[in-house]
Structure 1
Amino acid sequence: MVGLFCLPAHAGARDISRDTLPVNDGWAAEGEGTTGGSAADADHVYTVTDRAGLVRALDGGSDTPKIIRIAGTVDANTDDDGDHLDCADYATDGYRLTKYLAAYDPRTWGSAKPSGPQEEARQASARKQAERVELLVGSNTTIVGLGKAVLKGGSLQVRNAGNVIIRNLDIRDAYDCFPVWQPNTGGLGDWKTAYDTIWLTGATHVWIDHVTLSDKGHPDAQEPTWFARNYLRHDGLLDITNGSDLVTVSWSRFADHDKAMLIGNSDSATGDRGRLRVTLHHNEFESVVQRAPRVRFGQVHVYNNRYVVPGDDYRYSLGVSTESAIFAENNAFHTPGQVEVADLVKSWNGSALHQSGTLFNGYPVDLLAIHNAYNSGSERDLTADVGWTPTLHTKIDSAETADRQVAHGAGAGRIP
């Protein structure tokens, strides 16, 4: 069976694929905790080396306890024979980017939603790519990288499933060949892409640890500009939406990306109240333009993270949106000269932000007070009372100590 085989753990070596979430390690430790596929029997422990093997091991998102070890580099954009597929291979029904641009140029098309032959061809082409790159992860699953394992071009999706662990994996370049143009009656509009590198939707009890998420291979900054907007090819690095709950993201690295992490996808999704409980600790956000994270509704504990803010096009790091309750402790920010403390927090309909122990280029600052002082004319003042206090957490270090630890320990290949 090409690309998939059973492999026992090496004698005497630590088998991280059997690890479970430590007690009290964030929201994913609530209740019975998060154990992933640790209960898998020998017949459901796989080592995969290509897309075909990974798809077989995922078993269509089944709930059967399973451990999937990824070895080497797995390319999601491959056919059943393992040959690489590029955007031209997915294009169908006469789709051509040049034709699409000509058809929906806002100067002639206007502000209506794209429709007609080229939009239909784009949708058909997008479906062909989605069949390859969307990888459905079912309940009771552990996915772990061996050594310097890479998954490129794929979107790991945990949809309405639970008890999932993803660790020690470099996941990069969830590249959308067919972005859609979305006009805006109040402005020029923008390009919308399809694939999050990891997407949790309706997911519960998920632990993401020591992963590296990036656009490595095809950075959006190198894409052209169409209709006066950057032709984006990537969506979120990690989006947690649609009632997902009880998630811990630890010791991971988010790099070289625009919109990193969205928690809660809509102001009108009032069913998310009481859900979207997420812990982020000991993560590094390097050269991330925005959403690190942006939160709606959720109770989100953000502690001991390291932020290396880009100088160009930076927007914000912490996004305080509708009914969000962010409890931020002992985080360290490194910024270039043109970025000020007041730039780190952005609010849309948010009302509260707890912050303490924040370092800005090595100096202690009060994010809340500075946000309110500098943004009171354009944004609603935030209060410090977010209505809850985290109890599920491991040792919380000073921002200075965590900054050093994260710089050397976050990301794939760095599990002690």
Structure 2
Amino acid sequence: MTWKLRPRTARRAAAALALLLGSLALQPGARAATTSPDTAPEASSPGRDLGREVLADNDGWAAEGTGTTGGAAADEDHVLTVRNRAQLVAALDGGSSVPKIIRVAGTIDANTDDRGRRLDCADYATDGYDLDAYLAAYDPRTWGGAKPAGPQEDARKASAARQAERVEMLVGSNTTIVGIGAGAVLKGASLQVKDADNVIIRNIELRDAYDCFPAWQPNTGGLGDWKTAYDTLWLRGATHVWVDHVTASDKGHPDDREPTHFGRNYLRHDGLLDITNGSDLVTVSWSRFADHDKAMLIGNGDGVTTDRGKLRVTLHHNEFHSVVQRAPRVRFGQVHLYNNRYVIPEDGDHRYSLGISTESRIVAENNAFEAPGHVEVADLLKSWNGSALTQRGTVFNGFPVDLVSIYNAYNSGSETDLATDTGWTPALHGPVDSAAKAAAEVARKAGAGRAAR
């Protein structure tokens, strides 16, 4: 008789077998794995091994179908510890699908050359690019509302391409990236999971994906805005992705300290985590998104109808702290948002938290919001062509509130009311605690360096 494993079972069986073989290889007398000059295989510790852990059954949308095991099936030659940019690039292997576990030790700065020398914006500038010359060339008072074109725009694009070669890093299928201990940091990088499946990113701080060369985008109906290039983590066309115990922020270069040009803040950062271009089956858990403007975008355009039936995302036990907007903003996606904590500080800017956009179907359960007195409950929602939000168990400064009814009453006569039924009931999730209990746990356990708590 021939036995055939289901896809989920086969994937987990492969991961379990790799873990067993790896442990046997580390017994006394076993021959050490061959090392390379760029990366070194990392022996498994006798205790908990975060790199070999896989997403639990039913833990959000990423558990659907085959589940998410990342690089848990990697052989010992593909369990690598990296301590600098060159080692990380080598370990990522150009986004290959070979099962791999990449352990990040200490702080890795993406803005470094191949010898490890720190690079700044002046090192990337080329072809005569100069910010003052750029501002003079495309001042809307003289240039008007046309898209920038000419020598300075060409030079900006060439300079931006040089930085992109350093900071954009492709993550391939069957990969786990995990921080070692409590101090793993990836600084200045834009991790991009593009058209890849089965990826885990855990226990790491993603910091300051700083764009040296923002582009001016005129708007004939308004002031226009500055467009930046890099998300700290960008999922595009990605499936079965688990993001866990990650901290993402602008730490070191907050946008509110940047100058104003053409009447607009000279933004240097895009999203902290964007999930776009048909990405699907994603779980984001126990992570912290902080000190940022546009935190999380799910779905990248109202007209991208190919996203229908995709963008299925679970967000649970995450903290959004000092986030101005997009926590998240959703188009088309079927999103389960439960047991998250939102903190809006007294001196922090805030536009909205949940963005209800075209054909979005969000089910929000037992989330807690902490806000100063000038922030109203109605300020937590913003709708662009949205039609419905299912919510229950929401707490605002310790008091139970109904987000939809308050939003509808506040905006009566100016915006279309939101319905309360998005037409689906989440099935893939763990226990849903009360908002108060979850907020206390999230404050203690969410973010990088806390995965073992």
> TM class, shorter-chain normalised?
over 0.9
Match in the other structure for 1:391: 427
Q: Secondary structure at the match of 1:98?
A: helix
Matched, 1:351 2:370: no
> What CA deviation, in whole Å up to 9, does each residue of 1:319-340 have, x standing for no partner?
0000000000000000011000
Matched, 1:279 2:314: yes
Matched, 1:85 2:119: yes
Matched, 1:216 2:287: no
Alignment of 1:101-140 (within 5 A): 101-140=135-174
AA of the residue aligned to 1:271: T
> What CA deviation, in whole Å up to 9, does each residue of 1:49-105 have, x standing for no partner?
000000000000000000000000000000000101000000000001011001001
CA contact 2:322–2:349 (8 Å) conserved in 1: no
Match in the other structure for 1:48: 82
Distance, in Å, in 1 between the alignment partners of 2:414 and 2:55 is 42
CA contact 1:260–1:290 (8 Å) conserved in 2: yes
Q: Secondary structure at the match of 2:105?
A: strand
AA of the residue aligned to 2:324: V
AA of the residue aligned to 2:80: Y
Match in the other structure for 1:328: 364
Match in the other structure for 1:175: 210
CA contact 2:211–2:230 (8 Å) conserved in 1: yes
AA of the residue aligned to 1:75: D
Match in the other structure for 2:445: 409
Offset of 1:14 from its aligned partner? 1.0
Matched, 1:35 2:99: no
Alignment of 1:177-326 (within 5 A): 177-311=212-346, 312-326=348-362
Offset of 1:6 from its aligned partner? 0.9
Q: Secondary structure at the match of 2:382?
A: strand
Greater mean alpha carbon deviation, residues 371-380 or residues 145-154: 371-380
Alignment of 1:13-24 (within 5 A): 13-24=47-58
Aligned residues: 415
**Would you identify which runs of 4 or more consecutive aligned residues in structure 1 move more than 2 Å?**
310-313
Distance, in Å, in 2 between the alignment partners of 1:376 and 1:326 is 21
CA contact 1:3–1:49 (8 Å) conserved in 2: no
AA of the residue aligned to 1:141: T
Offset of 1:377 from its aligned partner? 2.4
Offset of 1:2 from its aligned partner? 5.0
CA contact 2:390–2:421 (8 Å) conserved in 1: yes
AA of the residue aligned to 1:81: R
Offset of 1:3 from its aligned partner? 4.9
Offset of 1:387 from its aligned partner? 1.1
Distance, in Å, in 2 between the alignment partners of 1:359 and 1:45 is 43
CA contact 2:60–2:282 (8 Å) conserved in 1: yes
CA contact 2:210–2:268 (8 Å) conserved in 1: yes
Distance, in Å, in 1 between the alignment partners of 2:161 and 2:37 is 26
Alignment of 1:90-101 (within 5 A): 90-101=124-135
Distance, in Å, in 1 between the alignment partners of 2:38 and 2:379 is 47
CA contact 1:288–1:310 (8 Å) conserved in 2: no
Offset of 1:376 from its aligned partner? 2.2
Matched, 1:376 2:440: no
Percent identical = 75
Q: Secondary structure at the match of 1:176?
A: coil
Offset of 1:313 from its aligned partner? 2.7
CA contact 1:17–1:142 (8 Å) conserved in 2: yes
CA contact 1:3–1:51 (8 Å) conserved in 2: no
CA-atom RMSD in angstroms: 0.7
Distance, in Å, in 2 between the alignment partners of 1:42 and 1:100 is 51
Distance, in Å, in 1 between the alignment partners of 2:381 and 2:323 is 14
AA of the residue aligned to 1:72: G
CA contact 2:207–2:232 (8 Å) conserved in 1: yes
AA of the residue aligned to 1:93: D
Distance, in Å, in 1 between the alignment partners of 2:102 and 2:186 is 13
Q: Secondary structure at the match of 1:210?
A: strand
Selected match of 1:360 from 366, 378, 396: 396
Distance, in Å, in 1 between the alignment partners of 2:212 and 2:378 is 36
CA contact 1:45–1:68 (8 Å) conserved in 2: yes
TM-score w.r.t. the length of structure 1 is 0.99
Distance, in Å, in 2 between the alignment partners of 1:376 and 1:160 is 42
TM-score w.r.t. the length of structure 2 is 0.91
AA of the residue aligned to 1:90: Y
Distance, in Å, in 1 between the alignment partners of 2:360 and 2:429 is 19
Matched, 1:162 2:222: no
Distance, in Å, in 2 between the alignment partners of 1:306 and 1:144 is 24
Unaligned runs of 5+ in 1: none
